[in-house]
Structure 1
Amino acid sequence: MGAVASGSYASQQPMLAFSARVAGDAARTRVVIDFEGKPEFSIHYVGGPERIIVDLSATAFGFPAADLAPRGLFKDIRYGTMEADSARMVFTTERPVKLVLAEVQENENGGHRLVLDAEITTKDKFAEMLKTQDWNASAAVPSADEVGPVVEDGVFTVAVDAGHGGIDAGATGAATKTSEKTVTLDFARLLSERLNKIEGVKAFLTREDDTFLSLSERVVLARQRHADLFISLHADTLSQKDIRGATVYTLSDRASDRMAENLAARENLSDQLAGFSIDHGRPEVADILLDLTRRETQAFSVSLAENVVKSFEGQVGLINNPHRQANFQVLRAPDIPSVLLELGFLSNAEDEKLLLDETWRTKVATRISEAVDRYRRRSLANGG
């Protein structure tokens, strides 16, 4: 595989790596390797194809190869001894990635584990990492203590997420056959434009064209850009064509009602439609992907939902009990208040007309912007 890039380690007996596991999806993947002692390691990136190189002190790999079978962001994982005092692991990735965590942690029952968290990045950022890395030193990777809430930057950032996209068209209009992915993107552009007119607010789109994004990618993109709010936009269909009006959903492990439960189940199938699936793995491994939303974040999400409902009342049609809860994967960012907004139902003829009407969309986007601004001002006043 080539020489160890960062200098040879002191000659020593190989340390046993006795267990390994991988869990993740198309946006973020975690690798955990258990060692009998505390391993030394260094990290580097290689292009053509994109790879992560992990150089280790002398290591005996004593786990079944199936334990490190590639999944998630990785399409190939190889490892082995380099020289008497060194070993190497090579992770070939499906797309440009970066490590957001690479550290050795102490196990409760003795020994240590190497934890690697890989996350999607852009081609430009990966190319920059290749140019700036020093092969005589390990690439800089945040430790667990450095990964957490972002320092207040003075800008209130909103991720506007147009539901569906690409191969996943979503629902279809009963009369016009307009796809949900088109309705949500058109509205997302309008809402983002309105939000960006508010002083101190910066909005961005998770997708800017007809592109498929996995549910996890949407969340990761929001976190990478330090979003303070996440708003996912949808326009579903129901078998009961007389039901119409907007609904605001927040995350809950238990759905507030059968309609919310069924809707969440359909929306969570989006990844499977495009061949993606979330590997839950052991709780220890999957916690970075599907952490339960912190109570504080959930309270903020509910506050935002209530602000949206308040803005809509008397101005925009709402269904009965307009604030509902369900287990939506796309709302699972542990540190970003998040809501899913059903603008209306494409299965209802009147809602469909409104969803395609520019005047109505402008009014709704304005109302949502006012709700976001009211939420932002209240959060600032409370020191949040």
Structure 2
Amino acid sequence: MDAGFQVKRSATRLCSMEAIGRHRGMRMFVAAFGAVLLLLSPVAVVRAGEPVPLLAYAARIAGDDARTRLVIEFDREPAFSIHYVANPVRVIVDLPETSFGLKPESLQPRGLFDAIRYGGMGAGASRLVLSANGPTEVTHAEVKPVEDGKGFRLVLDAERIGQDRFDKLLAEQQWTGTVPSAKTDRPAAAPRPKAGVFVVAIDAGHGGIDTGAIGGVTKTEEKHVTLAFAKELVERLNHEPGIEAFLTRERDEFLSLPQRVQIARQRGSNLFISVHADTLRQKEIRGATVYTISDKASDHLAADLAARENLSDEIAGIPLESEPAEVADILIDLTRRETQAFSVNLARSVISSFEGQIKLINNPHRHAGFRVLQAPDVPSVLLELGFLSNKEDEKQLLDAEWRKKVSTLLADAVQRYRNSAVANGG
């Protein structure tokens, strides 16, 4: 393990996470990842000139399936707003940018809430998502000074309500602020590429409140693994003649799935590669996989993975809206067959580059209805580097030399694809 794997545990955590190293049998293996784990402390990275985030330093929850109280303590007075989302029922608490220095056990789901997530949403905002087990309303919310005068306490009292009342809350609420919706575009138009430049969008999966998968041994979050690899890949691609690569996200921030697609299209991308490192129940399965889009999954594993990846916006508490017609065409009718054919060509080029060099899953080219691959005019693939549920894959994913090797192989595959496209007038 190398200290160059610059990951930091964001305040975003799934509250069901166990403390690292709790199982004695894993201690020796975890020790090998000490350099990484030291970097996983709950600290906020503040760039020069940016406001200092709030610090949420303590929390507690109590109650039953009729009433539940949640209390969070901050170093400064927080502004907040509350919204509701259906299918499934979620209570959304939006906050200014906040560093969550909470113990994982302090917000274990109980009472009205089956799951609790918190973390960054980008654009100077953070979010608390309370997944409820039925129609729920926050009937009382207030901020008051902590007794010792050294902070402020946000108190939320929630109660079970009837479906009619919840439907009325949904109908009457207004969403305001900077937190993205499922259709949010980045406000500023990106510069168009120079003529003749082959533009590649590299999308580091997950981010912010959406941690992605969790490593079986080190408890490393997928969002950090994908960003570390994506940065390595972009640097490598930008040394290739005629190629200009960029990141859809450059730090630990949340982007909705439609945002990722839109960023690629705004930048005039010729290719889109979304990087992931998921987990499976079958811990023995390992190796890289390349996915392309299809309205019908190639197999059960691909279908299950796509279903999970497509839940990213739901995890962040974003109300899903109907897809534009051009997206529906991609998923149902596959009318943009040319784009799909180019995507398949890219997948084959990647697999050809990987074969004999790194571990591949059986049948490494698979397909399913991934929402992040829906750009109708940008050939796109989703690359699963390996599985964090497999200890061999996890060890490799955290190794700088392995990442460098894979990024070089992938850059070679992209360059071969580009050369073929240029030769054929693409």
TM-score band w.r.t. shorter chain: 0.5 to 0.7
Aligned to 2:246: 204
1:234 touches 1:343 (CA, 8 Å); kept in 2?
A: yes
Aligned to 1:349: 391
Q: What is the identity, as a one-letter code, of the residue corresponding to 1:204?
A: F
Q: Offset at 1:120? A: 2.1
Aligned to 1:319: 361
Superposed CA offset, 1:77-108 (max 9, x none): xxxxxxxxxxxxxxxx85799xxxxxxxxxxx
1:75 touches 1:94 (CA, 8 Å); kept in 2?
A: no
Aligned to 2:156: none
Q: Offset at 1:121? A: 3.4
Q: Offset at 1:277? A: 3.5
Alignment of 1:1-384 (within 5 A): 75=175, 120-122=185-187, 153-280=195-322, 286-292=324-330, 294-384=336-426
- DSSP-derived class of the 1:280 partner: coil
Query: How far apart in 2 are the matches of 1:184 and 1:312?
Result: 18
Q: Point out the structure with max Rg over C-alpha.
A: 1
Superposed CA offset, 1:270-311 (max 9, x none): 000011233227xxxx21454415100000000000000000
Do the aligned partners of residues 238 and 151 (structure 1) sit closer, same or farther apart at CA in structure 2, a change above 3 Å counting? closer
Do the aligned partners of residues 237 and 298 (structure 1) sit closer, same or farther apart at CA in structure 2, a change above 3 Å counting? same
Do the aligned partners of residues 303 and 70 (structure 1) sit closer, same or farther apart at CA in structure 2, a change above 3 Å counting? farther
1:96 touches 1:121 (CA, 8 Å); kept in 2?
A: no
The runs of 5 or more residues in structure 1 that have no matched partner are 1-65, 77-92, 98-117, 127-149
Q: What is the identity, as a one-letter code, of the residue corresponding to 2:356?
A: G
Query: How far apart in 1 are the matches of 2:194 and 2:402?
Result: 35
Query: How far apart in 1 are the matches of 2:180 and 2:385?
Result: 34
Aligned to 2:41: none
1:312 touches 1:318 (CA, 8 Å); kept in 2?
A: yes
The count of residues paired between Structure 1 and Structure 2 equals 251
1:291 touches 1:332 (CA, 8 Å); kept in 2?
A: no
- DSSP-derived class of the 1:120 partner: coil
Query: How far apart in 1 are the matches of 2:352 and 2:241?
Result: 22
| TM-score, normalization by structure 1 | 0.61
Q: Offset at 1:342? A: 0.2
| TM-score, normalization by structure 2 | 0.56
Query: How far apart in 1 are the matches of 2:266 and 2:301?
Result: 32
Do the aligned partners of residues 95 and 344 (structure 1) sit closer, same or farther apart at CA in structure 2, a change above 3 Å counting? closer
Do the aligned partners of residues 70 and 211 (structure 1) sit closer, same or farther apart at CA in structure 2, a change above 3 Å counting? farther
Query: How far apart in 2 are the matches of 1:299 and 1:152?
Result: 25
Query: How far apart in 2 are the matches of 1:163 and 1:208?
Result: 11
Do the aligned partners of residues 258 and 378 (structure 1) sit closer, same or farther apart at CA in structure 2, a change above 3 Å counting? same
Superposed CA offset, 1:119-160 (max 9, x none): 6233x669xxxxxxxxxxxxxxxxxxxxxxx99821100000
Do the aligned partners of residues 344 and 95 (structure 1) sit closer, same or farther apart at CA in structure 2, a change above 3 Å counting? closer
2:186 touches 2:259 (CA, 8 Å); kept in 1?
A: no
Q: Offset at 1:75? A: 4.5
